[in-house]
Homo-oligomer: A and B are copies of this chain.
Amino acid sequence: MPPLLNPRLSSSLKPLLLLSQFPIAPRNFQIPRQLVSVKRRSFSSLASVQSSDNGGRSGGGRSGALSPSPVAEEVQRIDVNPPKGTRDFPPEDMRLRNWLFNHFREVSRLFGFEEVDYPVLESEALFIRKAGEEIRDQLYCFEDRGNRRVALRPELTPSLARLVIQKGKSLSFPLKWFAIGQCWRYERMTRGRRREHYQWNMDVLGVPEVTAEAELIASIVAFFKRIGITESDVGFKVSSRKVLQEVLRCYSVPENLFGKVCIIIDKIEKIPIDEIKRELNATGLSEEAIEELLQVLSIKSLTKLEEILGGAGEAIADLKQLFSLAEKFGYSEWIQFDASIVRGLAYYTGIVFEGFDRKGKLRAICGGGRYDRLLSTFGGDDVPACGFGFGDAVIVELLKEKGLVPELSLEVENIVCALDHDLQGVAATVATKLREKGQSVDLVLESKPLKWVFKRAARTNAQRLILVGNTEWQKGMVVVKVLSSGEQYEIKLDELE
């Protein structure tokens, strides 16, 4: 159909103001209906032409936008783009978002997880940790009108911890919770990074065993399979923070440096290795310890790790159990040990994992791990816990790379149209009947030529066109046209299913 805001078209439709003295008339007027652009006018011109308000669609192209507007006291030409780093979701993008979220939800349901959510706006204190995480410097924070320091959440886990502490004894463990929430980070806008994304989280609380991590990875694998991503597209790199912990312990590194060291190591692929060494050195690690640490971090084989750390440690035991469970869950081909994985959040204490694309083009697809001691940092009693975050951005990039973005289009079941303006009410009755039977109806709300209606039906992928015409309606009937076959028949309204 022709674009409605086309200034060239609408400039062909000029002085309709004379019609505006008949307040109802313009609605029946047979000038092409697509030209609905209502021109800005000052109220004074309105006052001089009685009752021209709704009907008085004067023509004219896209004129100077700064003429006085009747509603606001002034016209303010706004930036029509969403704020930098944020997104609108017009229908086509919203369909993709819903498709993705529905898969998140369905996988979570299959795994017996319950959905939760938290405020987008949280106390800033919840996110202020002192390990030098990137996340802290990227906080959208401000003081509200009540002088509280608040922040748009950059992640969901601290809110989860807060809620669990709050609920205390009323909860039945283990908790298996999932959430799909928008998170905010004020990142530098390089390489197509955005400042908000939605994140699917699944968390298990109350289970100290690695079975929980194994279950979480199983759910992500189930998700990938559903959307057509295979183990040749993506994999999981898995390690344990306990590996690092054991190495640091050998060199008598103070334990309170652990979080800080992890944060530095997480940057290994992002900044030069000399910078990493310098930063580690600045925390007090000896050069020998740093070399040993980097040596261990380069290990990609569990057997090799065991040779170095010995078989008695928890790191090895956890990892062995996880790989054994992966086989039973059926996703061995998806996971691999990689000692360099530590993740960028200070609170992880055990297994950590990261989903990556095997072509190495994209940022991490998802990541997670065990955080058994997060609750006590907020003054609560600790509960063993693990979880993951899975953003809505990188996965869509991957789907695009693989040609797996689904074609999703609007699909209405019926388009209902009155052939005569007087029958608009009858069309409303027809639409109501169909909707009461669970049928979706795009009701044509104006008098439109049939050609327009067919174009609309094509755009909305309508299955049936229901026409309300005078001749048929006198017999209590409507015309049904099945749009896929072209089949056409008359039917009594009551019999319309």
B173 and A83 contacting across the interface, CB-CB below 8 Å: no
Alpha-carbon distance A196/B117, docked complex (angstroms): 14
Alpha-carbon distance A115/B101, docked complex (angstroms): 14
A43 and B256 contacting across the interface, CB-CB below 8 Å: yes
Alpha-carbon distance A424/B7, docked complex (angstroms): 68
| Closest Cβ–Cβ distance, residue A186 to chain B (whole Å) | 5
Interface residues of A in 337-368 (CB under 8 A from B): 346-347, 349-350
Segment touching B, from A282-290, A438-446, A488-496:
A438-446
Q: Decide yes or no whether A230 CB sits under 8 A from chain B.
A: no
Q: Decide yes or no whether A231 CB sits under 8 A from chain B.
A: no
Q: Decide yes or no whether A12 CB sits under 8 A from chain B.
A: no
A313 and B441 contacting across the interface, CB-CB below 8 Å: no
Closest B residue to A219 using CB positions? B435
Alpha-carbon distance A116/B94, docked complex (angstroms): 6
Chain B residues, CB < 8 A from A1: 172-173
Alpha-carbon distance A387/B401, docked complex (angstroms): 39
Closest B residue to A426 using CB positions? B328
Q: Decide yes or no whether A382 CB sits under 8 A from chain B.
A: yes
Chain B residues, CB < 8 A from A81: 166
B314 and A110 contacting across the interface, CB-CB below 8 Å: no
Alpha-carbon distance A27/B208, docked complex (angstroms): 8
A170 and B215 contacting across the interface, CB-CB below 8 Å: no
Q: Decide yes or no whether A410 CB sits under 8 A from chain B.
A: yes
A65 and B211 contact, Cβ closer than 8 Å, known pairs A163-B88, A329-B428:
no
Q: Decide yes or no whether A177 CB sits under 8 A from chain B.
A: yes
Q: Decide yes or no whether A377 CB sits under 8 A from chain B.
A: yes
| Closest Cβ–Cβ distance, residue A411 to chain B (whole Å) | 9
Interface residues of A in 223-259 (CB under 8 A from B): 242, 245, 249, 254-256, 258-259
B116 and A379 contacting across the interface, CB-CB below 8 Å: no
Q: How many copies does the complex hold?
A: 2
A72 and B42 contact, Cβ closer than 8 Å, known pairs A112-B442, A118-B88:
no
Alpha-carbon distance A46/B146, docked complex (angstroms): 43
Q: Decide yes or no whether A207 CB sits under 8 A from chain B.
A: yes
Q: Decide yes or no whether A299 CB sits under 8 A from chain B.
A: no
A36 and B207 contacting across the interface, CB-CB below 8 Å: yes
Interface residues of A in 81-102 (CB under 8 A from B): 81-84, 86-91, 94-95, 97-98
B428 and A317 contacting across the interface, CB-CB below 8 Å: no
Q: Decide yes or no whether A449 CB sits under 8 A from chain B.
A: no
B459 and A78 contacting across the interface, CB-CB below 8 Å: no
B115 and A40 contacting across the interface, CB-CB below 8 Å: no
A110 interface neighbour in B3, B37, B440, Cβ under 8 Å? B440
Chain B residues, CB < 8 A from A218: 428, 432
B110 and A438 contacting across the interface, CB-CB below 8 Å: yes
Q: Decide yes or no whether A119 CB sits under 8 A from chain B.
A: yes
Q: Decide yes or no whether A398 CB sits under 8 A from chain B.
A: no
A38 interface neighbour in B42, B79, B174, B384, Cβ under 8 Å? B384
Chain B residues, CB < 8 A from A117: 88-89, 94, 97
B206 and A425 contacting across the interface, CB-CB below 8 Å: no
B70 and A256 contacting across the interface, CB-CB below 8 Å: yes
A144 and B186 contact, Cβ closer than 8 Å, known pairs A119-B87, A208-B38, A256-B73:
yes
Interface residues of A in 26-51 (CB under 8 A from B): 26-27, 34, 36-40, 42-44, 46-47, 50-51
Chain B residues, CB < 8 A from A379: 65-66, 75-78
A51 and B312 contacting across the interface, CB-CB below 8 Å: yes
A69 interface neighbour in B170, B171, B376, Cβ under 8 Å? B376
B142 and A142 contacting across the interface, CB-CB below 8 Å: yes
Alpha-carbon distance A38/B373, docked complex (angstroms): 8
B255 and A44 contacting across the interface, CB-CB below 8 Å: yes
| Closest Cβ–Cβ distance, residue A384 to chain B (whole Å) | 5
* 16 pairs, A vs B, C-beta closer than 8 Å: A5-B383, A38-B373, A39-B381, A40-B382, A43-B254, A51-B314, A53-B314, A53-B350, A55-B208, A78-B123, A82-B118, A82-B122, A94-B114, A111-B435, A112-B412, A120-B152
Besides A4-B383, A215-B443, 5 more A-B contacts (Cβ < 8 Å) are A38-B208, A42-B255, A51-B313, A76-B378, A78-B379
3 closest residue pairs by CB, A with B? A43-B255, A77-B379, A112-B442
